[in-house]
Structure formats: structure tokens, C-alpha cells
Amino acid sequence: MRTTWISMLIAAVTSLSLTERNEMSRKFKYYFNSVRPTAPENFISGVNGSFFKVAVEFHLVGTQVKTRSLLVDAVVVFHWIDDRLVLRELFDDFELPKEFEPWLPRVRTIPAPHTVTVVLSPATGVVSLYHRVKDVITCSAVEWKHPFETFDCELQAENAGDEVLTMLKLRDLRSDHQTTLVGAELSPFPLSTLKLQFSAEWNSALLSVFLPSVLIVTLVFFAQWKRRKVQILVSLAAIMSILVLLVSSRPYHSATLLDLWICGCFIHAVFLLLVDLTLPARRVRYALLVDVEDHESKPRQTVLKCQESSQRSIDLILKWAERKLGLKENQESTTQVFALPPEAAVVQRQVTTTTLGERKRIALVVVGASYIVFTLIYSIIIFSIN
């Protein structure tokens, strides 16, 4: 009769009946737990000889992803046949108490179990050793793939004797959500290991590193059309921000894909700063004469300044009139109104613009194309490693 972890849990809270206790007392009267069972079903033969076989089952109850680790709730079951414990009068599986201790193989699980139970199937003599494991397993990953690495975790079963552990099957009792997040498979013979695998959460890195770094480089690029003081200020602030991102997002000591991305953004920001320092933008000033009456703007070759309202202009006009009309200083001043031909009132306005030279435009195009190529190559690497 095949036992499961559910029957083990039921047997753990069920005491022996009087009939079961009497039968076990009769069997263990001449039973020695230091002698290994000799049932032929327990042995396997190969080119290297015959070995005692212990079948192993993994019952995976639940998994929960932690930070570079995995919380595993599982039951590891070891099966073998002890023909000395066959009880034809009994049919239900039951847990063997401490006073009736059968022969047990020297096996262990990593991590160590917190509950160990021995269950007997009296009709067939199958003894099942249950190791209940609920612990956090440290997982390993290829560091340079961060934050797109895949974590590998192992729930191991080991044997200290000369017995051979053979993998029987894996029973996955988890929910669909846990099954989607964490994959599970048995390792091939001769290993007796349950391999668990899950991918890292790279969504947080997308929002905290990748998106801000792209916006920072884009901001530095478009700042080249502003004044030079603004360009230098934006470039230096961007370089400092990228350095902060590089220092604050390093879970490993070795170089990773995330470091490669941040360093690529840093290099392109430095290139933009070098372009700005070596090839500054040109500032062009030109005068624009605006016709106030017609509200039209058109450039003139001469610059006119309206100073009729100043006291100095009035004095110059009075002196010119005195010389032309022959008036003396002690003569009373008379005011004459002359009809002057109407002329358009003109106001001078200075306009300053920033233009990029041909060499700087070429340099910016080269840096922008380099950043686009870098992004495409980085995306190809990410898709290829997964």
C-alpha cells in the first residue's frame, strides 16, 4: 500500500490500537534493529555489484520566494521493505512509536528536518521514513547576469551508509501561482536532489535604474541646445546621479549586467560633457528694429536711438536754433512749432540665439547613434541569456 504525507500526518495523531500493539510486541520480541532487511526487492544489481536500495519521494507542499533564497515546505519520504514486519492481520498504516524502533538507514536531508516519523504498512512490510522540512534554502545564481539572473536551489537527501538512494517520483502539491513562479524537477541518478529554480524580480530594477538612467542621458543630450552654463550644470548633475545609481545598486562584488548598463550611460554622459567643453555652442546677437505703428519686425542696417525725451537732446536742439536764427543769450526765448514730416517710430531690440556648429552637430549625432547601438546590443544580450 502506497503511503503519502497525508496518511503520515493522520498517523502522527493516531495512537496504536490494542491489536496493533500486541502484534508489534510479538514481532519485536525477536527483532533486532541492527540487522538490515534481506528482502530481495531491496537490492539492485549492476556492473559494480549489488546494493541495498532506498527509494526516495519528494512531496513539495509549498514554496515562497525570498531575497536570493527560497522558503521550502516539503516532505522527503524514504521507502524500503522489511519482510520481518509483515503483519497479515493488520491492513491500515500506522506510525511506529519510539519503543518499536525498526532498522533505519543513515540518511539525512539538507536542510535538516524538524519532524521525523516512521510509518509501517503491515500488509506489505513497507517502512516509510518521513522527514518534514520547512526552512529557508540559500540559492545560487550566475552573478554577472544580475538583475536577470536565475536562482538555483536544492533540497538534498544524503546517505551515510552503503545504501543507494533512487529517485522514485516528485509530487507537487503547490498552488498554480507557486508552480508558475518556482519550477521543480528531480535530478538524474545517482543524485538524490530536488532542484528548484526561479527568476529574479527585475521589474524593480527597471523602475529604479533603467528608466531613470535613460531619462538622465536624454536630458543631457537635449540640454546641448541651451546656454553653455545650463549645459555644464545639467551634465555634471547627470554624472553625479549616475554615480549614485552605480553605488546604490550593487548586491554583488563582481561586475554585473546592471553595472554594464550604468557604466554605458555614464560614459555617454561624459562624452556629451566633453563635446560641450571642446565644441561649445555659438551665441549670435543681432539687432531687430521694430516698427511700433505697423507692429512689424524687420532688420535694418543702421541702429536708431530715440533720445528726444532726454534733457541733453533738448539742450542740443536749443543751441542749434540759436546759431541758425542769430539769437543772443539775453534774448527772450521764443517757442516756435515746426511741422515735421511724419516718420515711423522705430525701437531697437536685441535678440540673442544659440546655434550649433557643424562639428558639434556631427559629434552629437555620433554620441546619440552610439547610445542607440549600445541599447540594442544590451537588449540582444538580455534576450540571449534567457
pLDDT tens digits, 180-201: 999 999 988 888 899 999 998 8
In this predicted structure, what is the pLDDT of residue 184? 93
Higher pLDDT, 20 or 185: 185
Q: Is the per-residue pLDDT at 287 higher than 60? A: no
In this predicted structure, what is the pLDDT of residue 315? 63
For the four alpha carbons of 160, 164, 168 and 169, in that order, the dihedral sign comes to: positive
In this predicted structure, what is the pLDDT of residue 358? 82
Q: What is the pLDDT of residues 289-320, one digit of tens each?
A: 555 555 444 444 443 343 434 455 556 666 66
Mean pLDDT, range 78-101, rounded to an integer: 87
In this predicted structure, what is the pLDDT of residue 252? 78
Mean pLDDT, range 204-226, rounded to an integer: 90
In this predicted structure, what is the pLDDT of residue 336? 47
Helices (H), 223-352: 228-248, 257-278, 311-325
Q: How far is CA 118 from the centre of its chain?
A: 44
pTM of the model: 0.68
| SS3 assignment, position 45 | strand
In this predicted structure, what is the pLDDT of residue 210? 92
In this predicted structure, what is the pLDDT of residue 317? 62
In this predicted structure, what is the pLDDT of residue 280? 67
Torsion angle in degrees (nearest 10) through CA of 207, 208, 210, 213: 130
Torsion angle in degrees (nearest 10) through CA of 193, 161, 84, 49: 90
Question: How do the domains of the chain map onto residue ranges?
Answer: 5-199, 203-281+356-385
Q: Is the per-residue pLDDT at 6 higher than 80? A: no
CB 306 within 8 A of CB 295: no
Greatest mean pLDDT range, 22-26, 35-39, 68-72, 339-343: 68-72
Q: Does the N-terminal peptide bond of residue 190 adopt cis geometry, omega within 30 degrees of 0? A: yes
Give me the CATH code for the 5-199 domain, please.
2.70.170.10
In this predicted structure, what is the pLDDT of residue 309? 40
Mean pLDDT, range 339-351, rounded to an integer: 51
**Which residue, 59, 69, 62, is CA-closest to 177?**
62
In this predicted structure, what is the pLDDT of residue 183? 92
- How confident is the prediction for the chain on average, in pLDDT? 80
Q: Is the per-residue pLDDT at 123 higher than 90? A: no
In this predicted structure, what is the pLDDT of residue 33? 86
What CATH topology corresponds to 203-281+356-385? Methane Monooxygenase Hydroxylase; Chain G, domain 1 (1.20.58)
For residue 285, name the pLDDT band (cuts at 50, 70, 90): low
Q: Is the per-residue pLDDT at 326 higher than 70? A: no
Mean pLDDT, range 213-240, rounded to an integer: 88
Q: Is the per-residue pLDDT at 256 higher than 80? A: yes
* Environment class of 165 (CB within 10 Å of its CB; exposed 0-12, middle 13-18, buried 19+): buried
CB 120 within 8 A of CB 93: yes
Mean pLDDT, range 70-89, rounded to an integer: 91
Cell of 11: 498517523
Q: How far apart are CA 73 and CA 63, in angstroms?
A: 6
Amino acid letter for position 358:
E
